[in-house]
Structure 1
Amino acid sequence: MAKHLLPALTLLFALPAGAMLWQGQDLSRIFAAVAAPADLLDGCGDVPEAVALAEELRDRALRIERYMESIDARKVALEQAESTLRERLAELRARQGSITARQNGSTEAVRTDIERLIALYDQMKPAEAAAILTNLPADFAAEILMRVKPETGAKIIAAVEPRQAALLTAQMGARSVRNP
């Protein structure tokens, strides 16, 4: 008789499930838990442990819900902050580009002015250039002497008094050491 019990129980459970599948119904609703949170205490209201457990579960559910809401609010705030930062980054990059362009323009203007000044000293007579250079700050005069043609620079230094020539030469050497 035990041999026939297992197939009979299989048929007992399989036939209704097969019929539901045949009709296209969803079986998950049958096997899912159907107890709503409010229905958890039905019949257990007189058991203090069950009441305490139900209250604890309800409190935890509320805390989790509040926590999830705060996470959603933080997510929105982070998205807004990220958007603001992206806009600011784009603005700063645009400003950086314009600053770089202005610096390049300024640098080019300074180079042009220096080249004109050097050309001017190259065209002067050495004695006249020496008289002007001795009245300039030593580092500026040394910079000019470093950039003029070597022959012109040599003639200008020869026209400067020896003490001033030594100072200018030391400045030129110091500049060479600083800017290899």
Structure 2
Amino acid sequence: MARLMLPALTVMFALPAAAMLWQGKDFTRIFAAVAAPSDLLQGCGDVPEAVALAEELRDRALRIERYMEALDLRKADLVQADSTLRERLTELRAQKGSVTARRDGATEAVRNDIDRLIAVYDQMKPAEAAAILTNLPADFAAEILMRVQPETGARIIAAVEPRQAALLTAQMGARSVRNP
């Protein structure tokens, strides 16, 4: 019999609480002080312990109300901060999109410029191209040689001084190893 009482009491107390939660009731009113201290002291004003207890209860009720007000303020601050962060996130995503578009445009422009440069070297005579490439930085010259037509690149390397040709070939190989 005692074993049946505990679940029955649990259900009896849990159901109203669940119903209140489901309905979205405000629990602060339930826990607020219901009686004024003067009502609590009715007939007990001459008992110092009762007066002290009533004052303690009043002080606690005031602290709880202040705490609940502080919680409401913090809740409002959090909602405001959340809103601000969401707006900022939207702005940053828009900026990221525009930066990406600009970067893609710039990358495309650089590729077009490189393609035109490669086309120029493809059209040059190997001896003229070799003379120009020997005056460029080795990594840049190797990049150009890697991108021109293979036949044109072979003729240009053949026209370069052997020591310079070895350096350019090593740069080309090192570039291939770095960027598989």
The interval holding the TM-score normalised by the smaller chain is: 0.7 to 0.9
- 1:44 counterpart SS class: coil
For residues 157 and 129 of structure 1, what CA distance do their matches in structure 2 show? 9
**In terms of Rg, which structure is larger?**
1
> Which residue does the alignment assign to 2:56?
56
> For the Cα contact (< 8 Å) 2:118–2:148, is it kept in 1?
yes
For residues 73 and 54 of structure 2, what CA distance do their matches in structure 1 show? 29
Runs of 4+ in 1 over 2 A off after TM superposition: 34-38
**Is 2:70 the counterpart of 1:70?**
yes
> Which residue does the alignment assign to 1:113?
113
Q: Which runs of structure 2 are paired with 1:27-66 in the superposition (5 Å)?
A: 36-66=36-66
Post-superposition offset of 1:36: 4.5
> Which residue does the alignment assign to 1:179?
179
- Kindly provide the amino acid, as one letter, of the partner of residue 72 in structure 1: D
> Which residue does the alignment assign to 2:98?
98
TM-score (norm 1): 0.78
Post-superposition offset of 1:131: 0.3
For residues 73 and 48 of structure 2, what CA distance do their matches in structure 1 show? 37
- Size of the aligned set, in residue pairs, is 147
Unaligned runs of 5+ in 2: 1-33
> Which residue does the alignment assign to 2:145?
145
> Which residue does the alignment assign to 1:26?
none
> Which residue does the alignment assign to 2:17?
none
Seen in structure 2, the aligned counterparts of structure 1 residues 35 and 109 have a Cα distance that, compared at 3 Å, is: closer
Post-superposition offset of 1:38: 2.7
Unaligned runs of 5+ in 1: 1-33
- 2:77 counterpart SS class: helix
For residues 92 and 173 of structure 2, what CA distance do their matches in structure 1 show? 41
Post-superposition offset of 1:103: 0.6
- 2:103 counterpart SS class: helix
- 2:45 counterpart SS class: coil
For residues 105 and 157 of structure 1, what CA distance do their matches in structure 2 show? 33
Q: Cα deviations across residues 134-178 of structure 1 (Å, max 9, x unaligned)?
A: 000111000000111111111111110011111111111111111
For residues 56 and 130 of structure 1, what CA distance do their matches in structure 2 show? 97
- Kindly provide the amino acid, as one letter, of the partner of residue 62 in structure 2: L
For residues 48 and 88 of structure 1, what CA distance do their matches in structure 2 show? 59
For residues 165 and 38 of structure 2, what CA distance do their matches in structure 1 show? 102
Seen in structure 2, the aligned counterparts of structure 1 residues 35 and 106 have a Cα distance that, compared at 3 Å, is: closer
